[in-house]
């Protein structure tokens, strides 16, 4: 008998590329395959080959098409520090500082001041073949990345800087 792997809402939301709140809404609507709630916690089974396991979310009948991932990510999350913003911040007072850390996931850029990488990562230096954004040095990771504000309250990387 094959052991079914069960995950929680945070990991399932990360794998599906949606916020944990949206995933909990989908769970309440019964749109996640074979998920159940026990003692106040959601238990979500994942399906697929080892290393490519994903939760299965059923599409709704109304509204726009869902934007959750249906497959495991093939490109890593890219993190780099924007040197132009660092130079610009040197001239500005502390109240007007702009975020210098950029997190690039698929088609989105998120900006912040501090972040935490929750797993293994790789530092890449490529002087002759820069990234699309022009960076020569960056960090690649398939692990979860989480922004932290100056009061050390966790803010997920999927939250735009203007809402921080």
One DSSP character per residue, 50-103 reads TT--B--BPPPSSSSPP---SS--SSPEEEEE-HHHHHHHHHS-GGG----EEE
Q: Alpha-carbon distance 114 to 95, whole Å?
A: 16
Confidence class of residue 51 from pLDDT cuts 50, 70 and 90? low
CA 127 to chain centre: 27
Place of tokens 């702009």: 98
- Summarised one tens digit per residue, pLDDT across range 82-102 is 888 888 888 888 777 788 888
- Summarised one tens digit per residue, pLDDT across range 91-147 is 888 777 788 888 887 777 888 888 888 788 899 998 899 888 888 899 998 877 877
Q: pTM surpassing 0.85?
A: no
């Amino acid at each position: 008998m094959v052991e079914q792997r069960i995950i929680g809402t945070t990991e399932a939301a990360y794998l599906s590329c949606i916020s944990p709140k949206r995933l909990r809404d989908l769970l309440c609507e019964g749109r996640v395959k074979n998920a159940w709630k026990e003692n106040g916690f959601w238990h979500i089974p994942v399906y697929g080959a080892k290393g490519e396991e994903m939760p299965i979310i059923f599409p709704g009948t109304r509204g726009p098409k869902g934007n959750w991932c249906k497959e495991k990510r093939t490109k890593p999350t890219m993190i780099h520090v924007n040197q132009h913003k660092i130079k610009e911040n040197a001239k500005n007072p502390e109240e007007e500082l702009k975020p210098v850390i950029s997190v690039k996931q698929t088609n989105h850029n998120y900006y912040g001041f501090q972040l935490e990488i929750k797993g293994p990562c790789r530092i890449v230096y490529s002087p002759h073949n820069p990234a699309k954004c022009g960076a020569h040095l960056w960090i690649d990771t398939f692990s979860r990345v989480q922004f932290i504000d100056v009061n050390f309250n966790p803010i997920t990387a999927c939250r735009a800087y203007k809402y921080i």
